[in-house]
Structure 1
Amino acid sequence: MKAGALDLGEASKGLAPRGGVNKGVSILDFILRLIALIGTLGSAIAMGTTDETLPFFTQFIRFRAKYDDLPSFTFFVVANSIVSAYLALSLPLSIFHIVRSGARSSRIILIFFDTAMLALLTAGASAAAAIVYLAHKGNARANWISICQQFNSFCERISGSLIGSFGGILVFILIVILSAVAVSRR
């Protein structure tokens, strides 16, 4: 009888910490989703509102740089906006995982969609990074000059926007890893 009571006690001790760890992972998941939401939404807004106009010889002739002049930047804004909307919609499910840390099927669904959003965010940021590099450095072989010497404000904003998006990518990687750890603990 005493051996059975000991086994029951060990079993209950083994379950209690696991539930506490899963709850901690769920809380960390929620916080990381908020951080990623701020980063991706800020990136989309910063890129989407980037616009700079420079006068040329007279006040009637002007050069203008705007994010939607380049399809890569438009894709970047759309990708960050979609990921931001997804993160906002996934917050209630993340709260559900805090309350019910043992939920497994909904966490697997989140891993699937998190991975898809990570791929979309990476594609958008990578496409924009290539254009930002050309804006800063140019390409002598293709006879493209760097525009960042003239459009300083434009280049600062698009570079800052990329930093927020790549930060969101890193946070998404952590979210996927944390979710996988939480599922594997079952």
Structure 2
Amino acid sequence: MAGIIQLGEKNPKAGVNRGVAVVDFFLRIVAIIATLASAISMGTTDESLPFFTQFIRFRAKYNDLPTFTFFVVANSIVSAYLVLSLALSISHIIRSGSRNSRVVLIIFDTAMLALLTSGASAAAAIVYLAHKGNTKTNWFAICQQYNSFCERTSGSLIGSFGAMVVFILLILMSAVSLSRRH
């Protein structure tokens, strides 16, 4: 009878750890979708406007601005990392007692959060200038002319900032999971 009670006491803790691992797996999938969609959305942003005639056109492309290129690269790197981290996440579902791999995930998740934050923040500054401009420096708002370009760049930021929130949740969940195991 005592063996059954001990077994019953260990199962709820293992069940909670497994539940946290399953949530971790699904949050990683959500983050993959968000970062990949952001990279694709920004990377395919392109708009042309006629100037005087049909033959002379002004173009706005994401790679005209190095900040947007950095944003696409950062989101792509984070997406690739998230795909690779799914293997560790699956191993946490199978073996709920893996401590070292959880520490490795916290370290890399934090690094990817920093990369994602820097890319999204830099792109957000440029998107703000595109919408509002800065008359003191003669940077004019271009969103009145390039509506589609501005909508797509703004939309791609939403996915990236959403992925940042998911990363914060992943890091907190991993830290709580580690602190529960003494």
Fold agreement, TM-score > 0.5: yes
In 2, Cα distance between equivalents of 1:47 and 1:127? 13
Alignment of 1:66-145 (within 5 A): 66-145=61-140
Q: Secondary structure at the match of 1:145?
A: coil
In 1, Cα distance between equivalents of 2:5 and 2:133? 66
Q: Give the unaligned 5+ runs of structure 1.
A: none
Q: Secondary structure at the match of 1:54?
A: strand
For 2:179, the aligned partner's letter is S
For 1:54, the aligned partner's letter is L
Mapped pair 1:46 → 2:41: yes
In 2, Cα distance between equivalents of 1:9 and 1:46? 55
Deviation of the 1:117 alpha carbon: 0.2
For 2:25, the aligned partner's letter is F
Identity %: 71
Mapped pair 1:59 → 2:59: no
Q: Give the unaligned 5+ runs of structure 2.
A: none
Q: How many residues align?
A: 181
For 2:50, the aligned partner's letter is P
Deviation of the 1:152 alpha carbon: 0.4
Deviation of the 1:17 alpha carbon: 1.0
Q: CA RMSD in A?
A: 1.2
In 2, Cα distance between equivalents of 1:143 and 1:46? 28
Q: Secondary structure at the match of 1:148?
A: coil
Q: Secondary structure at the match of 1:150?
A: coil
Match of 1:171 in 2: 166
Match of 1:161 in 2: 156
Structure 1 stretches of at least 4 aligned residues deviating more than 6 Å after TM superposition? none
For 2:134, the aligned partner's letter is N
Deviation of the 1:140 alpha carbon: 1.2
Cα shift readout 1:106-153 (whole Å, capped 9, x = no counterpart): 111011000000000000000000000000000111111100000000
Mapped pair 1:28 → 2:18: no
In 1, Cα distance between equivalents of 2:85 and 2:37? 18
In 1, Cα distance between equivalents of 2:160 and 2:6? 44
Mapped pair 1:149 → 2:132: no
Q: Secondary structure at the match of 1:61?
A: strand
